[in-house]
Amino acid sequence: MKKRILSALASAVIGFGLLFSPMAGQTAHAEEGNSGDIMVLYTSDVHCGINMGLGYGGVAQIRETMENKGYTTLLVDNGDAIQGDIVGTASKGDSIIRLMNKAGYDAAIPGNHEFDYGVENFLSLTEKAEFPYLSCNLEKEGEKLLSPYKIFDVARRKVAFVGVTTPETITSSTPKYFQNENGEFIYDFCRDESGQLLYDAVQSAVDDARNEGADYVFVMGHVGYLEKCRPWTYDDIISNTEGIDVFLDGHSHDAEQVVMKNRNGEDVIRTACGTKLSNLGYVTISAEGEINNGLFSWNNSLSATELFNISNEVQDEVLAVENDLNDTLSEVVANSDVALTIYDPEEKMSDGSPLRIVRHQETNLGDLCADAYRDQLGTDIGLCNGGGIRTNIDKGEITLGEIMNVHPFNNEMYIVTATGQQILDALEWSSSALPNDSGIFLQVSGLSYEVYTFLDSRCTSDENGMFTGVDGEYRVKNVLVNGEPLDLEKTYTVGSSAYILHDNGGGMTAFDECEGRYVGKLDNQVLVDYIQNSLNGSIGEEYSDPYGSGRIVIIEGLME
């Protein structure tokens, strides 16, 4: 049984004149000296939104304000801080750790996206962090890699924090990162079908903290409430454990404030704070032991730091990181022996401007992007829509910024299991505008096909331009998957952006009935990783033909 917390624990929007004031349900404390009250501030799912919402500068300002009001504060993070934008990708999370150090975080846990640059990279970041990363369930070959909990002595009380990360991480990040060279999983998150392994890990850490004298136990969870994450959601864990006072949660990007019963029928507060610093969560423990919680919220289009011109050491560091990013993007990180293009290398528009062809025929840059998707996501097929490939890569030295600008939209990657029929429908819809341009035109990897453009497209769509089927003969023919004819009944794994596979971008609905999952990487990150890692930083002669390697053949008339 669980219920949402209402009036006494309600959140409030921070507005002009109310900036950084205590929320409803709290009593303002004396501003001189320590009142004996504790305030735990927490962030979650920041996803590199360093200057969005409240911004890290705003978080620091709130903390200082609350300390001036007499609170002893602790600041913790519930994961998914280092991934989600170019500032994380370019530094593989290092810049975010730098900001968290400056902000004075006291503890953090890994979310599933902390592993998107590899497990070893994450572990190296924990050594740079000036605060502990906690996890009771991250293991390598049966051994725990991080401390399960940490106890803080604050305001004459002992407050413990236990870390737990969703076992879904194995699949929602990149599975091969958790395997050895033989493809065997050597990292684990206490994953089993019943959930008992995870419950036992959490309970053991809670018990150990209690036995060490903890007066209060907070679980810092990156587990959320999504059905696909069962049996590892927050309510699964709470209802199967005891001894937890407060469950700080992330992963599902919600901001729900809930009270539910543990396995002994005792109330446990579950609190979450959304994403991109739109909220800063708080939990107060009064000198008398009363616990309250809520959110400092920011719902304006401008960040709090911008609107209120917040200036402090943390905001200065944010601006420095943004300046450093510009320098990082200008660094040479790869080389290409060939020019990769979205334009026709010979024909021009009537006014002499470049003729863009990536939206209606194969190009070598289209091949490269689709190959990156298939290689890095480990799927049978990679699909990349031409509208998402925005600029050339010139021959010679390549800067990180040039690679990132190929995919400037930061689309999250997605994997589906699709039938041959669904794949054929997707190709048919993507080719329906030929010979004209279409942003949904698919560049492909692991796949080849012919398009008979002398046949009229028989695709149908609804009033919103969404694909509804094919009413007649298909113009896409002779589809091969890795050299074998496409089997309409067989299933294949397909990697692309969520824009194509999940979000119906360009009216693409062919994959709506497919089972799928987010991978946790951005499209530009996948391209960077493919060039730097799989191609060893050098794009070679296999991509030399500007018109691609013959994966897509356009047949404009009947052959004699």
Please tell me the total number of residues recorded for the chain in this structure: 560
The pLDDT tens digits for 37-49 are 999 999 999 999 9
Cβ neighbours, 10 Å, residue 6: 10
Confidence of residue 201 (pLDDT cuts 50, 70, 90): very high
Confidence of residue 179 (pLDDT cuts 50, 70, 90): confident
Cβ proximity of 109 and 145 under 8 Å: no
Q: What is the pLDDT of residue 29?
A: 31
Average pLDDT over residues 181-202: 93
Peptide bond into 345 cis (omega under 30): no
Please state the pTM of the whole predicted model. Answer: 0.78
Q: Reduced to 3 states, what is the DSSP secondary structure of residue 104?
A: coil
Please work out, in degrees rounded to the nearest 5, the angle formed at the alpha carbon of residue 133 by the alpha carbons of 277 and 232.
Answer: 75
Structure tokens at 432: 């329906």
Cβ proximity of 358 and 365 under 8 Å: yes
Is residue 307's pLDDT more than 90? no
Range from 283-292, 399-408, 418-427 carrying the lowest mean pLDDT: 399-408
Which H helix or E strand runs over 96? Answer: helix 94-103
Q: What is the pLDDT of residue 24?
A: 34
Confidence of residue 559 (pLDDT cuts 50, 70, 90): low
Q: How do 459-461 and 447-452 pair as beta strands?
A: unpaired
Average pLDDT over residues 145-174: 92
Cβ proximity of 364 and 384 under 8 Å: no
Cβ proximity of 110 and 165 under 8 Å: yes
Please work out, in degrees rounded to the nearest 5, the angle formed at the alpha carbon of residue 364 by the alpha carbons of 360 and 367.
Answer: 80
Tell me the percentage of the chain whose pLDDT exceeds 90. Answer: 77
Q: How do 491-497 and 381-385 pair as beta strands?
A: parallel
List the alpha helices (DSSP H) in 378-492: 400-406, 420-430
Q: What is the pLDDT of residue 467?
A: 95
The pLDDT tens digits for 225-275 are 988 789 999 999 999 999 999 999 999 999 999 999 999 999 999 999 999
Q: What is the pLDDT of residue 76?
A: 98
Q: What is the pLDDT of residue 3?
A: 52
CB under 8 Å, gap of 24 or more: what pairs does 94-100 form?
Answer: 94/125, 94/128, 95/321, 95/324, 95/325, 96/46, 96/48, 96/50, 97/125, 97/128, 97/129, 98/128, 98/317, 98/321, 99/50, 99/56, 99/314, 99/317, 99/318, 99/321, 100/56, 100/129, 100/131
Peptide bond into 167 cis (omega under 30): no
Report the sign of the C-alpha dihedral through residues 523, 526, 530, 531, in that order. positive
Average pLDDT over residues 67-81: 96
- Choice between 410 and 467, residue whose per-residue pLDDT is larger: 467
Confidence of residue 2 (pLDDT cuts 50, 70, 90): low
Range from 14-23, 477-486, 546-555 carrying the lowest mean pLDDT: 14-23
**Start-to-end Cα distance in the chain:** 73
The pLDDT tens digits for 512-528 are 999 999 887 889 989 99
Average pLDDT over residues 150-169: 96
**Considering the chain, what is the average pLDDT of its residues?**
90
Confidence of residue 348 (pLDDT cuts 50, 70, 90): confident
Confidence of residue 34 (pLDDT cuts 50, 70, 90): low
Q: What is the pLDDT of residue 516?
A: 94
